[in-house]
Structure 1
């Protein structure tokens, strides 16, 4: 059944459009007129009180155009086959919005049915034909992967379940299987209800929805939240710690299907800087970078030794993407950091209050 847009969501979108739907952004000064206007990055932003946008940016993180959102956005998925991007509402989300990132045209605005919500993330299949979204059942937090047919106008055609409560991020692996960060937390809205009995996992599904692997961490109060893969077989997962506030366990791990989970290492006082929460993750051949908006910092780990090698302050550190063996990091302060560890990093201000995550095109 194809999900219809509620009147409330439609009214909010139309209201937001009054502020300039899909509005192009003028270059910053004369020097900026020579920069590329080719879309390379997409993320969500906060523009003001109850004003939320999706922002298409170039490969420096400088904005090209903004599209208003009916509510606060979270994760973004991109589809280069059709030049589509989809923004998912922040959990417990009520909508996802598909648009053409080259023109700014809105393709689809879908809302969750009353008994469901979105968890803020989704991903396209490798061939671009399918969109997978993390969803939950209101009242139970039962985890669901919604499957949408792109060629049929994003009609919902299937649901995968049976892997746990509270899935957050889903990514697609090179072999078309899905990796899901299952938080294991039953919530009412954003209020957790089962912290003593929560059961997080990193779960793998085949493209047909069969559970093919499932692993956990030694501490059941490490809620697995955000994921990335290294372009090959290794999944990186970032956690939110829901245990004792004075404890500072490892918040990052690596996993290859069929093997055990490997925790990344740092000193307890270094983990304390991350304030119990990892947001975005990206990896190059040698390094792994993870951000913490709650900790106002990001860290870089060696993939070979699994040890922290750099810890940098960044106010409201948000999204990260890997590009040409370096990282681009966004922030709620508007700063975009280019980190070429071990070389010195550089910073520009994008004039965008970046929120949560980035997705590379």
Structure 2
């Protein structure tokens, strides 16, 4: 659990971060001019049992970092209050709210002894609510915790009844929630129900009513990471929990009221992803998905659903879309700007980025 001493230490470090931004390592050769404007936020690994959340400019070069009590995972960004929320990696014990402009620590919320966080959350479109994926430790019963932003992130509601083991929640442009329900009951990180797991992509109203649930034909495809295309299409990335020598598709698209549509690649290409998709982003033409376990990322045509390019990237991690192109992070420190298949550039950030990035609009 997060202690008062930890809170004080974090606050001290956050205040120091206001005046001591982190300068990028090894950037002289890249000839990239560093900006002072925050544009990207992601969690990072700094060393053995040492973790932080990093605020970066549009190039992916660090402006400052704040220490985390344990390894972080996803980050939610509030676009008008300059708030960001770093969520602990599952089974997480905290989420931390901070000002991404000043580095000020706003609040550190601890999970109760009966609950844990699954590593992701998102703000409502109007900025009033923070939605977080949560679960009961004893049963992995899925919960979306609802927190009142203006009331200091007090919990005001819980949505449930959609399954076991939710991982990521996103907000659609029309305010509906899409939830990647992994379907796996765990003890810590150890799975307990792989034979009977029931993953789904679940849609909720903004008041928590279940609208629709869809599943893939293989129940061992645990639906985990999500993105949307700025309109009505949800993209979901899976973790395969079945036979180790089988390599089913790990990406799918869905629109409410329609069937799931798996994206296409050859089995040997899916094998490169090592049964796991971490981060997803989409433009109007392309879909990009990363796999840190596979040390690669792929680019699919949104119109044909076919894999167009497969790129090697050690510990390929976060991806965001901006103005029709992608930024991809790496646990080895590289930052890729991918304009289209075959058109990319690379710099070195000096940051050991973790699984996800979030973009400040």
By the TM > 0.5 criterion, same fold? yes
Report the CA distance between 1:356 and its aligned residue: 0.8
Answer whether contact 2:308 2:341 (CA < 8 A) is retained. no
The residue aligned with 2:225 is 226
The answer to whether structure 1 residue 6 and structure 2 residue 20 are counterparts is no
Rounded Cα–Cα distance in structure 2 between residues aligned with 1:17 and 1:126: 31
Answer whether contact 1:300 1:308 (CA < 8 A) is retained. yes
Rounded Cα–Cα distance in structure 2 between residues aligned with 1:17 and 1:35: 23
Rounded Cα–Cα distance in structure 2 between residues aligned with 1:153 and 1:18: 18
Of 30-39 and 227-236, the range deviating more from structure 2: 30-39
Answer whether contact 1:20 1:68 (CA < 8 A) is retained. no
Residue by residue, what CA displacement relative to the aligned partner does 1:23-68 show, whole Å, maximum 9, x if unpaired?
A: 4123655997953211000000001111101100011111111111
Aligned residues: 357
Report the CA distance between 1:344 and its aligned residue: 2.1
Report the CA distance between 1:325 and its aligned residue: 1.1
Q: How is 1:261-272 mapped onto 2 (pairs within 5 angstroms)?
A: 261-272=260-271
Report the CA distance between 1:20 and its aligned residue: 5.4
Specify whether residues 18 and 107 from structure 1 end up closer, same or farther in structure 2 by C-alpha distance, changes over 3 A only.
closer
Rounded Cα–Cα distance in structure 2 between residues aligned with 1:242 and 1:31: 40
Answer whether contact 1:42 1:359 (CA < 8 A) is retained. yes
Report the CA distance between 1:227 and its aligned residue: 0.1
The residue aligned with 1:54 is 53
Specify whether residues 11 and 62 from structure 1 end up closer, same or farther in structure 2 by C-alpha distance, changes over 3 A only.
same
Q: How is 1:235-246 mapped onto 2 (pairs within 5 angstroms)?
A: 235-246=234-245
Rounded Cα–Cα distance in structure 2 between residues aligned with 1:265 and 1:85: 35
Q: How is 1:62-81 mapped onto 2 (pairs within 5 angstroms)?
A: 62-81=61-80
Report the CA distance between 1:17 and its aligned residue: 3.1
Answer whether contact 1:20 1:67 (CA < 8 A) is retained. no
Rounded Cα–Cα distance in structure 2 between residues aligned with 1:250 and 1:26: 40
Rounded Cα–Cα distance in structure 2 between residues aligned with 1:143 and 1:168: 9
Residue by residue, what CA displacement relative to the aligned partner does 1:296-333 show, whole Å, maximum 9, x if unpaired?
A: 00000001100000000000000000112111000000
Answer whether contact 1:291 1:298 (CA < 8 A) is retained. yes
Answer whether contact 2:14 2:103 (CA < 8 A) is retained. no
Answer whether contact 1:42 1:55 (CA < 8 A) is retained. yes
Report the CA distance between 1:13 and its aligned residue: 3.8
Report the CA distance between 1:6 and its aligned residue: 3.4
The residue aligned with 1:357 is 356
Q: How is 1:1-361 mapped onto 2 (pairs within 5 angstroms)?
A: 6-7=3-4, 9-10=6-7, 13=10, 17=13, 21=17, 23-26=20-23, 28-29=27-28, 34-361=33-360
Answer whether contact 2:2 2:93 (CA < 8 A) is retained. no
Residue by residue, what CA displacement relative to the aligned partner does 1:164-186 show, whole Å, maximum 9, x if unpaired?
A: 00000000001111000000000
Rounded Cα–Cα distance in structure 2 between residues aligned with 1:200 and 1:12: 39
Rounded Cα–Cα distance in structure 2 between residues aligned with 1:325 and 1:79: 22
Rounded Cα–Cα distance in structure 2 between residues aligned with 1:12 and 1:198: 40
Rounded Cα–Cα distance in structure 2 between residues aligned with 1:92 and 1:70: 13
Length-normalised TM-score, structure 2: 0.95
Specify whether residues 34 and 331 from structure 1 end up closer, same or farther in structure 2 by C-alpha distance, changes over 3 A only.
closer
Rounded Cα–Cα distance in structure 2 between residues aligned with 1:34 and 1:239: 37
Rounded Cα–Cα distance in structure 2 between residues aligned with 1:243 and 1:19: 47
Give 5+ residue unaligned stretches, structure 2. none
Answer whether contact 2:10 2:105 (CA < 8 A) is retained. no
Answer whether contact 2:168 2:224 (CA < 8 A) is retained. yes
Rounded Cα–Cα distance in structure 2 between residues aligned with 1:356 and 1:117: 19
Rounded Cα–Cα distance in structure 1 between residues aligned with 2:41 and 2:232: 25
CA RMSD of aligned residues (A): 1.9
Give 5+ residue unaligned stretches, structure 1. none
Length-normalised TM-score, structure 1: 0.95
